[in-house]
A and B are shown apart, each in its own frame.
Chain A
Amino acid sequence: MMNFETPNFIPAIPEMFVLGMVCFILILDLFLSERSRIVTYLLTQATLVGAFILSLSLYSSESQLTFSNTFVLDPMASVLKMAVYFAAFTVFLYSRGYLRERGMFRGEFFVLGLFGVLGMMVMISAHSMLTIYMGLELLSLSMYAMVAMQRDSAVAAEAAMKYFILGAMASAMLLYGMSMIYGVTGSLDLGEISSAVEGKGNQLILIFGLVFLMVGVAFKLGAVPFHMWVPDVYHGAPTAVTLYISTAPKLAAFAMMMRLLVDGLGGLQAQWHDILMLLAVLSLAIGNVVAIAQTNIKRMLAYSGISHVGFLLLGVLSGTQEGYAAGMFYAIVYVIMGLGGFGMVILMSRAGFEADKLDDYKGLNERSPWFALMMMFLMFSMAGVPPFIGFWAKLSVIQAVVDVDMVWLAAVAVIFSVIGAFYYLRVIKLMYFDKPLDGSSFKPSLDVAAIFSVNAIAVLLIGLFPSSLMVICKQAMGL
């Protein structure tokens, strides 16, 4: 006889809240006239704020399992979810004017965005391979649709098609890997898998499954050699969508990696350590070197993102709690910097002018010294120059790697970060040392200008006082 008891719903209240709100917004949006579309936007932002408050009030250092152990709420989940709300909130702030100018200010963008957020939340809190897969697909399907939203743009349609086909293949790989792990361990529950694989690191079938799982994870993160979609999709998608894809989902992908590799297959650490090392070094190398050859800033930032993923993986592969905390810190820092980087493209663009060529940034210092300064902060931060926040992210990761006696890997990482510094410097060179192509003054809308300035100044201020963010990440990993 089935023993039925009501599960504990409390840990999943933020998810349920977001789901309820997104359904409500979806229906409400049908009845709104074009002029009152702003209501959709405001409700979306209110949903994110509400979810943030809920997650914050549910924060506890204990780990709670519910729904027959398929769902977990632990400190890592709470922190990452709050970072996701924050990132999505900022993305929507940046996008409003951009979407309106291009006739894309429609309910779909916000509803799909919120469904994506829900998918990320489920991924972050997953404690079963099925939950992970469910969250991942919810996120991916929303993103495929968002990339294709600009229906009359051939580039966007191509990007969406590529993204969909490659994404579907990656999901299939992931599912295949999961099925093999399930075949060996007889369970989808990460806790049970964890105890079942303990000491079985030499089983070929497990390693086989692990490899397929990691293909899926690497694809979502955009790590080399599963990065091919990244530049095309970032380039082809409308910048507002690029902003969305390039930021919050990285946090979810980081969580997915942590859940699968650490929570589930911690017993195979010696195996995934080597794979991650390969992925990390390749991502650092290809990302940084190929970025030099780009003339389109969105593609350049895409490759720069790939190299940042390489750094993030360095933290995880060290296999210590400090390393995981460093990886998480890196992911959050990358999101803050990525928001600013693509935010700049939105800031500079106007209807009919996407500002996605590097040459569009020539002489920015003469046209607007303030925004040139802000952009310079972001570029130096991405290059890892102190005192900006990007430096501390790199420092914590390198520290984690040196801690496990892999000094050579730290040396490789810093060499590639010097190579990477070149293309960030080139953007500064264009802004400061070159003459502007057209002398027209540019007037960004007030809200985008404000959020961009806040974003860039945050890169400096958190860089000067990184302690609290670091402490949050360490606590999330139980340190």
Chain B
Amino acid sequence: MFADLPLLSLVIWVPIIGGLLVLLTGSGRSGLQAKVLSLLVSLLTFALSIPLYSGFDMTSAQMQFVELSPWIDSFKINYHLGVDGISMPLILLTSFTTVLVVLAGWDVIKKSPAQYMAAFLIMEGLMIGVFAALDAMLFYVFWEAMLIPMFLVIGIWGGDNRVYATIKFFLYTFLGSVFMLVALIYLYFQTDSFAILDYHDVKIGLTAQIWIFFAFLLAFAVKVPMWPVHTWLPDAHVQAPTGGSVILAAIMLKLGAYGFLRFSLPITPDAAHNLDWLMIGLSLIAVAYIGFVALVQQDMKKLIAYSSISHMGFVTLGFFIAWTIAENTGSFSGAVMGMSGGVVQMIAHGFVSGAMFLCVGVVYDRMHSRQIADYGGVVHVMPKFAGFMVLFAMANAGLPGTAGFVGEFMVILSAFKANFWIAFVAATTLILGAGYTLWMVKRVIFGEITNDKVAALQDINSREYFVLATLAVAVLFFGLYPAPLLEVMDATVRHLIEHIAVSKVPLGAM
């Protein structure tokens, strides 16, 4: 029954138009009207995104739910949407997370709640647009426009140093993406089209590929973020309100990784092959070095932010390890596991890091402190909360049975096929991740109560319970039974691996 609806357009525009409505209607001080409307819009969007999964043909690597109509004729820019097995789960993740973010901000946001909710709804539509766009300019428009609501969310509802953090966030990502714009225009003149799928097939010389690769790298590495362009992330996370942190960690970071899969790898496979040592190196630095950095953080949000960077290192490692595996084993079939692991890690990290930031949000709303030293013994006063927090911390540390384990394990396993030392460094995360996460949990949740404010804490209310319980179910479900996720992406990942295994350098143009 949903087959003839333009589902992708709906999941993009329902939240955007809903957000504008919220902006117009919700001028009341309590904003109850605005909140209820936002919740309804986000639930409707989530409901609309479910048929994307149920109607998805898992055996095909082709784009599905395709919509194509001319948008700007004089530039040959089309309104071209479609999803494959990689982008579809990410759209579901986005619409799911937004519902939780709306709930999480329910009675926490006191300052113009209507604008807050509207910003998140508009951002949701724009992020889904990024995942669904098949036209390079449409992609770029969503990609950049998304910065605007996030800029406002951090700047208006953020912490004390929010102005610095949000301008840094905006300029960093803006600088990264403008070079991508130049690269996209360059590709336009190679193909006479802005269709991303046309870019996948065009033959490009190696030198040009390397330039294009670096232009994309700047855009996506900033977003992921990869070491050494990660410094905006801890600032942005620490200053952002809880909802902002959740969206940043759960979705925005995935956009960068998604960009590698949609642009860098298929458009410039030879450059990616030539520079995979660099990408693997940067990924390992993120995994190991940033893991050590996380260990010494005093601020809970900063600690989770660094752990996010470290976990995203696994994602990029899984993507770029393909050629090393192929050279070592003689075939690309082993690379499928690494790349799938990267994608699983993206989704899993979306749930786990979102949940971690929500947990910090819960105690921050009560204590107005993110310092680990201010806490201790929370379990005595907030037993339900402590249960959730420990579960998510375990998932963050990659405990088997949780979603955090599956992706990391797949990437490490495939890294062993490539090179022992790569796998060795990557595996340090099992120790480091457990170290920094559990040490934080020990200092925050367990021990004696030393702070009088902690003694006065109230346990989570039913709204918070619902939000955290939903995430807990997701974390456990994908940890114990990741098969649905793997099935969805399998055909697409195999297709992508086959694609990058073939050189795109025109014959005789080396």
A interface vs B, CB < 8 Å? Answer: 365, 369, 380, 385-387, 391-392, 395-396, 398-399, 402-403, 407, 410-411, 414-415, 417-418, 421-422, 425-426, 428-429, 432-433, 465-467, 470-471, 474
Across the interface, which residues of A come within 8 angstroms of B156, CB to CB? 365, 432-433
B175 touches A410 (CB 8 A): no
* B19–chain A nearest beta-carbon distance, Å: 12
B155 touches A432 (CB 8 A): yes
A467 touches B72 (CB 8 A): yes
Interface 9-mer from B41-49, B145-153, B433-441: B145-153
Residues of chain B in range 136-170 having any CB-CB distance to chain A below 8 Å: 137, 140-141, 144-145, 147-148, 151-152, 155-156, 162-163, 166-167, 170
A421 touches B185 (CB 8 A): no
Across the interface, which residues of B come within 8 angstroms of A433, CB to CB? 155-156, 162-163, 166
Per-position contact with A for B119-149: 1 when CB-CB < 8 Å, else 0? 0000000000000000001001100110110
With A387-B145, A411-B182, A425-B170 known as contacts, the answer to whether A466 contacts B72 (CB < 8 A) is yes
With A385-B145, A386-B144, A467-B71 known as contacts, the answer to whether A410 contacts B185 (CB < 8 A) is yes
* A110–chain B nearest beta-carbon distance, Å: 37
- Residue among A407, A417, A471 with the highest chain B CB neighbour number at 10 A: A407
How far apart are the CA atoms of A403 and B145 in the complex, in Å? 26
Given contacts A407-B186, A429-B166, 6 further A-B contacts (CB under 8 A): A410-B182, A421-B174, A425-B171, A428-B155, A467-B73, A471-B73
How far apart are the CA atoms of A421 and B173 in the complex, in Å? 12
Question: B179 at interface (Cβ–Cβ under 8 A)?
Answer: yes
B167 touches A386 (CB 8 A): no
Question: B75 at interface (Cβ–Cβ under 8 A)?
Answer: yes
Report 13 cross-chain contacts, Cβ distance below 8 Å, ordered by A residue. Answer: A385-B144, A391-B141, A391-B144, A398-B181, A403-B189, A407-B186, A411-B182, A415-B175, A425-B170, A432-B152, A433-B163, A467-B71, A467-B75
How far apart are the CA atoms of A465 and B79 in the complex, in Å? 11
Question: B345 at interface (Cβ–Cβ under 8 A)?
Answer: no
Overall SS of chain B's interface: helix
Question: B416 at interface (Cβ–Cβ under 8 A)?
Answer: no
Across the interface, which residues of B come within 8 angstroms of A415, CB to CB? 175, 178
| B74: contacting residue among A414, A417, A474, CB under 8 A | A474
* A131–chain B nearest beta-carbon distance, Å: 32
* B202–chain A nearest beta-carbon distance, Å: 16
| A470: contacting residue among B72, B144, B181, B185, CB under 8 A | B72
In the complex formed, the residue of B with least CB distance to A408 is: B182
| A399: contacting residue among B141, B147, B188, CB under 8 A | B188
Question: B115 at interface (Cβ–Cβ under 8 A)?
Answer: yes
How far apart are the CA atoms of A422 and B167 in the complex, in Å? 8
In the complex formed, the residue of B with least CB distance to A421 is: B174
* B185–chain A nearest beta-carbon distance, Å: 5
In the complex formed, the residue of B with least CB distance to A398 is: B185
How far apart are the CA atoms of A415 and B188 in the complex, in Å? 21
| B181: contacting residue among A365, A395, A466, CB under 8 A | A395
* B257–chain A nearest beta-carbon distance, Å: 22
Across the interface, which residues of A come within 8 angstroms of B178, CB to CB? 414-415, 417-418
How far apart are the CA atoms of A425 and B170 in the complex, in Å? 9
Residues of chain B in range 86-145 having any CB-CB distance to chain A below 8 Å: 112, 115, 137, 140-141, 144-145
* A389–chain B nearest beta-carbon distance, Å: 12
| B141: contacting residue among A387, A402, A417, A471, CB under 8 A | A387
| B148: contacting residue among A385, A399, A418, CB under 8 A | A385
Across the interface, which residues of A come within 8 angstroms of B185, CB to CB? 395, 398-399, 402, 410
Across the interface, which residues of B come within 8 angstroms of A474, CB to CB? 74
A380 touches B148 (CB 8 A): yes
Across the interface, which residues of A come within 8 angstroms of B147, CB to CB? 385
Across the interface, which residues of A come within 8 angstroms of B162, CB to CB? 433
Across the interface, which residues of B come within 8 angstroms of A429, CB to CB? 155, 163, 166-167
* A378–chain B nearest beta-carbon distance, Å: 13
B181 touches A418 (CB 8 A): no
Residues of chain B in range 171-222 having any CB-CB distance to chain A below 8 Å: 171, 174-175, 178-179, 181-182, 185-186, 188-189
How far apart are the CA atoms of A386 and B75 in the complex, in Å? 15
Query: Which 10 pairs from chain A and chain B are nearest by CB?
Result: A414-B178, A386-B141, A433-B155, A470-B74, A467-B72, A418-B175, A402-B185, A386-B144, A410-B182, A387-B141
How far apart are the CA atoms of A398 and B145 in the complex, in Å? 19
Residues of chain B in range 46-62 having any CB-CB distance to chain A below 8 Å: none
How far apart are the CA atoms of A467 and B152 in the complex, in Å? 29
B182 touches A402 (CB 8 A): yes
In the complex formed, the residue of B with least CB distance to A422 is: B171
Across the interface, which residues of A come within 8 angstroms of B179, CB to CB? 411, 414
Across the interface, which residues of A come within 8 angstroms of B75, CB to CB? 395-396, 399, 467, 470
* B25–chain A nearest beta-carbon distance, Å: 13
A398 touches B182 (CB 8 A): yes
* B166–chain A nearest beta-carbon distance, Å: 8
How far apart are the CA atoms of A369 and B112 in the complex, in Å? 10
| B115: contacting residue among A369, A387, A418, A426, CB under 8 A | A369
A386 touches B145 (CB 8 A): yes
How far apart are the CA atoms of A477 and B74 in the complex, in Å? 13
- Residue among A392, A398, A402, A470 with the highest chain B CB neighbour number at 10 A: A402
* B415–chain A nearest beta-carbon distance, Å: 35
In the complex formed, the residue of A with least CB distance to B175 is: A418
In the complex formed, the residue of A with least CB distance to B72 is: A467
How far apart are the CA atoms of A422 and B147 in the complex, in Å? 14
* A200–chain B nearest beta-carbon distance, Å: 32
* A464–chain B nearest beta-carbon distance, Å: 9
Across the interface, which residues of A come within 8 angstroms of B174, CB to CB? 385, 418, 421
In the complex formed, the residue of B with least CB distance to A403 is: B189
Across the interface, which residues of A come within 8 angstroms of B163, CB to CB? 429, 433
Across the interface, which residues of B come within 8 angstroms of A391, CB to CB? 141, 144
In the complex formed, the residue of A with least CB distance to B187 is: A402
Across the interface, which residues of B come within 8 angstroms of A395, CB to CB? 75, 137, 181, 185
A402 touches B145 (CB 8 A): no
How far apart are the CA atoms of A467 and B155 in the complex, in Å? 34
How far apart are the CA atoms of A30 and B16 in the complex, in Å? 55
Across the interface, which residues of A come within 8 angstroms of B74, CB to CB? 467, 470-471, 474
* B140–chain A nearest beta-carbon distance, Å: 7
* A282–chain B nearest beta-carbon distance, Å: 20
Across the interface, which residues of B come within 8 angstroms of A387, CB to CB? 141, 145
How far apart are the CA atoms of A429 and B161 in the complex, in Å? 13
In the complex formed, the residue of B with least CB distance to A466 is: B72
* A264–chain B nearest beta-carbon distance, Å: 28
Across the interface, which residues of B come within 8 angstroms of A369, CB to CB? 112, 115
Across the interface, which residues of B come within 8 angstroms of A396, CB to CB? 75
How far apart are the CA atoms of A470 and B140 in the complex, in Å? 19
How far apart are the CA atoms of A396 and B189 in the complex, in Å? 13
How far apart are the CA atoms of A155 and B412 in the complex, in Å? 70
In the complex formed, the residue of A with least CB distance to B126 is: A387
Across the interface, which residues of A come within 8 angstroms of B72, CB to CB? 392, 465-467, 470
How far apart are the CA atoms of A392 and B170 in the complex, in Å? 20
In the complex formed, the residue of B with least CB distance to A394 is: B181
Residues of chain B in range 197-256 having any CB-CB distance to chain A below 8 Å: none
